[in-house]
Structure 1
Amino acid sequence: MKKRLKRFFILLTGLSLLFFISLMVFIRFFDINQYANWISRQISESSGYQISFQSIDQDLVDNGGFSVNGISLFIEQAEVLQIAQLRVKIKSIDLWNRELEIAEIEISSPNIELDQSGLNTLMAAEKGDSAADKDKLKITVLPWQKLHINQLRVVDLNAEIHQAGHKIQLQQADLKVNNLNIITDNQVQADLLQGRLAALIQGIELDLADLPKLNISDSQLDLSIDKNAVVVERLDAYVFAGQLRLQAQVLLTFDPTVSTLPAVKSVTIDSLLLKDMNLLIPPAENFPTAAQSGQNTQPLMLPLETLFIKQAQTENLNIRSDNSRIPLTVNKLSGSVQAFYVIQNNQLTDLYGDSNQDALFAIRFALLRWWDSEMEGFAATGSLNQDNPSLLLLQEHFKTP
């Protein structure tokens, strides 16, 4: 009896080993590219967009990963996205419990080109989802129990988007996101991001109708995200020929029945520096004046609930205007403000009427010209309230003739 059991276990072990070896050989030599067209059709049918790729390289045995080369996405026969390579490295997979943990996804050299037609298609798809459909999507039970991505990297991203005479261009951007919870308990998570995001962007170009072209270069962004709280730990950029540096906290709200994107509820600026900038007030003759718009006396309700500045500083700013209704020139402007509410309860703060402000300020400039009036060598410090004589002097200077 013991000999039979022993032989049975030996036979079972041998068969298991043979099956494992056969499986490894199959995985190693299986050419998935023979099924590329079928895979592309399945992805296109499930996503609603036409997707194609050139080849798939698999290395599941040695490195636990695979890569997809030459990915293209089309909207209405127009190619809007190209990806040189998508590389996926799997950390662990539990088919029994349907849990998948991906160690890293790297997207190399993505190129995005969207025009008005493509944007209209995407926006129509977004608007076409009713609130009931979004509620169904929110509670849909998926076949996977868990899907987690430890790190997502985007290398050398370039994008160009055109809409209604506007152009936004992104050049050579590198992004890195840690900890993406895609699926938990068989449901897609609304708060996908919980972790850190880092970005390096060589260039951003904004070409907006009726406004001068804006170039932003050498941008660096580091932020952390925890559900609806975003902390901008560092934002450095060169814009208007000068330096921008920012640290801030942003509170988001998310309502899937209204939009798939979160909305900004409040912003707290911990630190802001604007240095050595040359600012231009653009011509805006086509903007309605107060008389043309009827001078609505009702307070303007803003989408942002609160904007609070803990500390902001300017150094050596120069301002000039090409707008005939704002004839302002300022040379060598430096200053600071602390503990100042710019927006409260979705309304702009009345600088002179709000007595609850405890803000402190400092300001100095070499020259200020408003219409035909000039001030030179001005400097002042104090509290931002209606009793400050320096503010009263500036207020008197800015009266329209």
Structure 2
Amino acid sequence: MPKKYETPLLDELEKGPFPSFVTEIKKAAAKNDMAADELGQLEKSYRDKRGYWKHGGIVGVRGYGSGVIGRYSSLPEEFPNVANFHTVRINSIAGFFYTSKFLKEACDIWDKYGSGLTNFHGSTGDLVLLGTNTENLEPVFAEFSSRGWDLGGSGSALRTPSCCVGPARCEWSNIDTLDITYSITQEWQDEMHRPAFPYKFKFKTAGCAVDCIASIARADCSIIGTWKGNIAIDQSEVANYAKKGMNIQEEIVNMCPSKCMSYDGKELKINDADCVRCMHCIAKMTKALKPTGEKGATILIGSKAPFVIGATLSWVIVPFMKMEPPYDEFKDLIRKMWEFWDEHGKNRERIGELIIRKGMREFLEYIGVEPQPQQVKEPRRDPFFFWTEADLQK
């Protein structure tokens, strides 16, 4: 039987109204020695107000430079079953669609070789398996690989691309997020499994500007579906929303970021020329409003959590790009961005931080993209509009 630890501090985390990770660790600890020692070490960390995990050492599987995060306990004598506690990342399926058969297989494999603790899903996008020892890494990989699954990205590499459910379940998706994610994953296997970048790089694809996958806050490259046509309005459905108690003026018109809407109590009007395609009105009035016309994606660069500089949201690089297989225009653009990053990036500097340091002008000139109004992140401050002598002579 696994060793049982007293956990009075962790027990406090189970008393709130929401499900607790502590409860799940305790379930695993009842039958798994690694999970039991992990629980004991975590309680000690809370008691001593310090962490006892060491992240370091090169561990992995043969032929791969990423996908495994080495983690060691700094108290191996006290908690011997977590002396090694490595994390394994499995490349997630696009849209996170799993069969119950695979989920059962994954849990059985992890109970056999690891702690039994999992993370569905971390912000990295991968299916995360928490805690195994060094000698079990190859067997774990062999088990998953034999069933058609691969390791995800880690380290200074392309991280596992991820996306929202897109057209599989959402009628408002303007692009095929699932196919884009699959194509990116297949195209850049080497960049994912053999780290060669200055630091990490993430793709996240959202079918529309509602951005259910939060790409604009988490991805070095955000691919967000959009459209070029007008918003079709069904005025009878607008009236139905009003009858059911929606305050259209307050909840829709006044919330429009570009102030392109008006409502006189009977008819809703949209000045589509000023619309920024934010999706707020459509998401709130799904039966009354619908995008029309050519569909494509806005390509944004630069979001990240704090590290060298504070957290940043990504900003527009290409306002509209057709996203159709095999996505050659998009892939060629990304390769140019990576070349700029490879040439100028410092160690552990994200591409967005590089652009801030070097300037948007130099970045756009290198990748061959013309400056456009949509690229302006802070109006009237950095317009990125470049005049040449030829322009002045006209």
What TM-score do you get using the length of structure 1 for normalisation? 0.24
TM-score by length of 2: 0.24
Higher relative CO (CA 8 A, sep ≥ 6), structure 1 or 2? 2
Greater helix content: 2
